[in-house]
């Protein structure tokens, strides 16, 4: 966790390989200073709602964006998305599904649950890093989130 508690990107990804590529792409381009990588949906929910190992975290400090894989152990990405959108404290956090799934049912269900964007992970290394860089650039620097009231 960062010293000030601020998180720009919450990366929820069970694949160490994909997570390392994403962290590398974001870090190399100085797009975000504060990135947290969590390895499953349960950790993500605990982080967002200040439970378990994150019970001391200030839950009002939301990430600028959640990059969310779908196929994860413990709690899958669709359930994480459902919990985020179902809670008034987290419903406005931008969520980008970044997954290897191309299944129509996953895309449709993600949008039904309120995902902001659904991106299929490119298989090619350069395309994957470029994709993550563009996601980081947009959500960390260009997007204007609502003011906290």
Confidence (pLDDT) at 31: 59
Cα(61)–Cα(74) distance, integer angstroms: 25
Confidence (pLDDT) at 3: 44
Indicate the domain borders of the chain: 9-70+91-139
How is residue 65 annotated by DSSP?
A: E
CATH of domain 9-70+91-139: 3.40.50.2300
Record the pTM.
0.89
Residue found by looking up tokens 């996953």 in the block: 106
Does position 146 have pLDDT exceeding 90, yes or no?
no
The mean of the pLDDT values for the chain is 88
Cα(41)–Cα(31) distance, integer angstroms: 24
β-pair type (117-120, 65-68) = unpaired
Between 30 and 135, residue with greater pLDDT: 135
Query: What percent of the chain is modeled with pLDDT above 90?
Result: 57
94 contact partners, CB below 8 Å, separation of at least 6: 64, 65, 66, 116, 139, 143, 145
């Amino acid at each position: 966790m960062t010293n000030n508690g601020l998180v720009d990107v919450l990366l929820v990804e069970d694949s160490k390989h994909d997570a390392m590529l994403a962290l590398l792409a974001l870090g190399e381009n100085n797009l975000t200073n504060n990135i947290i990588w969590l390895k499953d949906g349960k950790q993500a929910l605990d982080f967002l709602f200040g439970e378990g190992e994150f019970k001391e975290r200030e839950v009002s400090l939301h990430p600028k964006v959640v990059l969310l894989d779908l196929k994860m152990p413990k709690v899958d990405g669709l359930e994480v998305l459902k919990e985020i959108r179902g809670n008034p404290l987290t419903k406005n956090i931008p969520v980008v599904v970044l997954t290897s799934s191309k299944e129509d049912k996953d895309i449709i269900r993600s949008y039904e649950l309120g995902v902001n964007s659904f991106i299929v992970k490119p298989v090619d290394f350069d395309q994957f890093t470029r994709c993550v860089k563009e996601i980081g650039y947009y959500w960390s620097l260009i997007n204007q989130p609502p003011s906290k009231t």
